[in-house]
């Protein structure tokens, strides 16, 4: 039996098959055009509408609120501010170091916080400015010219799917657009679907979803252009990307199978020649 001749033919056939599979894998992805990936393609035809009301986030359950009360006389306003010794069930701290701790009020499942002296306050559904006005009016009954600061400390947006850096991001601002959120996540990959962006938002305790088209400039007038805390933005892969990934998986599976078969065949040939 001519072992070298058989091995040479087997090796040649394997290399030919491997080169063919690699070539198919490289040619499989379809070429995307500018029309497939550009945002706001009809922006010249769209007239942005002025906002009738200024956007402002509303307070929701599980929000963490930082509230600080000040005024001309700090000794009078001090009782309205939390201290570590006064932390209750709906109060949390953003730091493990007591000296650097930022005390926050956690909005409970009923939408309430327990505020020093004033007691239970229903804050769910209020805007930040509405809560500031409410506290100034209530505290102002006993304190002259109180100054109240309120901030939502866990204003976060989650971006998933075909972006460069998916994850959950805590935003510094309470006025965040969809574009800014995508920018924080590193923008879309070229393989992302531009017309089927999915926005998932909880409204009145019920998760709802909306489809957004980044290729249309009508997004600028969309009620979903501005995001809300805890929104989830999902960017799906394009149909061609899914097809390519599926095809590539099959191709490389076939190539691996070819390698396994060839190795087994060579092992068998060597075993037979030694007998």
126 and 170 share a domain?
no
Same domain flag for 230 and 173: yes
How far is Cα 131 from Cα 23, in angstroms, rounded to an integer? Answer: 64
What residues make up the domain containing 175? 34-55+155-237
| pLDDT the model gives residue 40 | 74
Tokens of residue 146, six digits: 């109180």
The CATH number assigned to the domain holding 171 equals 3.10.560.10
Tokens standing for 47?
């007239």
User: Which residues 6+ apart lie within 8 Å of 10 measured at CB?
Assistant: 262, 265, 266, 269
In degrees rounded to 5, what are phi and psi of residue 149?
-115, 130
| Cβ neighbours, 10 Å, residue 57 | 19
Interatomic CA distance for residues 97 and 100, integer angstroms = 5
**Same-domain pairing of 81 and 124:** yes
- Assess contact for 146 and 132: CB atoms under 8 A: no
Assess whether 130 and 101 both reside in one domain: yes
Where among 152, 186, 219 does a domain terminate?
A: 152
- Name the domain count of the chain: 3
Q: Which of 136, 152, 168 represents a domain boundary (last residue)?
A: 152
Distance separating alpha carbons of residues 26 and 123, to the nearest angstrom: 57
Are 136 and 187 part of one and the same domain?
Answer: no
How far apart are the C-alpha atoms of 112 and 150, rounded to whole Å? 15
- Please write the tens of the pLDDT for every residue from 79-96: 999 876 555 545 555 544
What token pair was written down for 43?
A: 């922006």
| pLDDT per residue of the chain (275 residues) written in tens, 0 to 9 | 555 555 455 555 555 655 555 555 545 445 556 666 677 777 777 776 665 445 788 999 999 999 999 999 889 999 999 876 555 545 555 544 443 445 899 999 999 999 999 999 999 999 999 999 999 999 999 999 999 999 999 899 999 999 999 999 999 888 899 999 999 999 999 999 998 899 999 888 899 999 999 998 888 888 899 999 999 999 999 876 544 544 444 555 555 665 566 656 556 555 656 65
Of 120, 152, 184, which marks where a domain is finished? Answer: 152
Let me know: does 80 contact 56? Beta carbons within 8 Å: no
Nearest 10 degrees: CA dihedral of 103, 107, 112, 113?
Answer: 0
Q: Which tokens is 256 given? A: 């691996």
* 252 and 220 belong to one structural domain: no
Q: Are residues 45 and 159 in the same domain?
A: yes
pLDDT for 131 equals 97
Query: Looking at the structure, do residues 93 and 207 belong to the same domain, yes or no?
Result: no
Q: Locate 106 and state its tokens.
A: 């956690």
147 CB-near residues (< 8 Å, 6+ apart): 69, 70, 71, 136
Q: Are residues 169 and 211 in the same domain?
A: yes
- pLDDT on residue 98: 40
Q: What is the pTM of this model?
A: 0.67
Q: What share of the chain is helix, strand, coil (3-state, %, to 5)?
A: 40, 25, 40
Tokens 């409204």 correspond to 203
Q: Are 61 and 124 in contact (CB under 8 A)?
A: yes
Same domain, 253 and 231: no
Contact 64, 155 (CB under 8 A): no
Q: Kindly state whether residues 175 and 41 are assigned to the same domain.
A: yes
Angle at 133 between CA 132 and CA 136, to 5 degrees: 85
CA Rg value for the chain? 30
Q: What is the DSSP letter of 44?
A: G
Q: Could you tell me if 214 and 194 lie in one domain?
A: yes
């Amino acid at each position: 039996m001519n072992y070298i001749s058989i091995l040479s033919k087997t090796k040649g056939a394997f290399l030919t098959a491997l080169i063919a599979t690699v070539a198919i894998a490289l040619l499989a992805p379809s070429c995307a055009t500018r029309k497939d990936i550009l945002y706001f393609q009809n922006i010249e035809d769209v007239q942005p509408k002025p906002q009738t009301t200024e956007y402002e986030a509303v307070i929701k359950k599980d929000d963490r609120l930082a509230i600080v009360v000040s005024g001309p006389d700090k000794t009078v306003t001090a009782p309205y501010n939390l201290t570590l010794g006064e932390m209750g069930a709906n109060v949390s701290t953003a730091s493990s170091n007591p000296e650097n701790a930022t005390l926050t009020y956690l909005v409970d499942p009923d939408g309430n916080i327990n505020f020093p002296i004033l007691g239970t306050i229903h804050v769910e559904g209020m805007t930040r400015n509405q809560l500031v006005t409410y506290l100034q009016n209530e505290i102002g009954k006993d304190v002259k010219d109180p100054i109240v600061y309120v901030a939502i400390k866990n204003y976060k947006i989650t971006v998933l799917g075909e972006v460069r850096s998916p994850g959950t991001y805590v935003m510094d601002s309470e006025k965040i657009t969809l574009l800014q959120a995508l920018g924080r996540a590193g923008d879309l990959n070229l393989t992302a679907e531009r017309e089927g962006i999915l926005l998932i938002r909880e409204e009145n305790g019920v998760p709802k979803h909306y489809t957004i088209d980044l290729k249309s400039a009508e997004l600028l007038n969309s009620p979903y252009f501005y995001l809300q805390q805890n929104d989830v933005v999902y960017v799906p892969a394009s149909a061609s990307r899914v097809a390519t990934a599926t095809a590539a998986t099959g191709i490389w599976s076939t190539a691996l199978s070819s390698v396994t078969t060839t190795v087994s065949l060579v092992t068998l040939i060597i075993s037979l020649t030694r007998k």
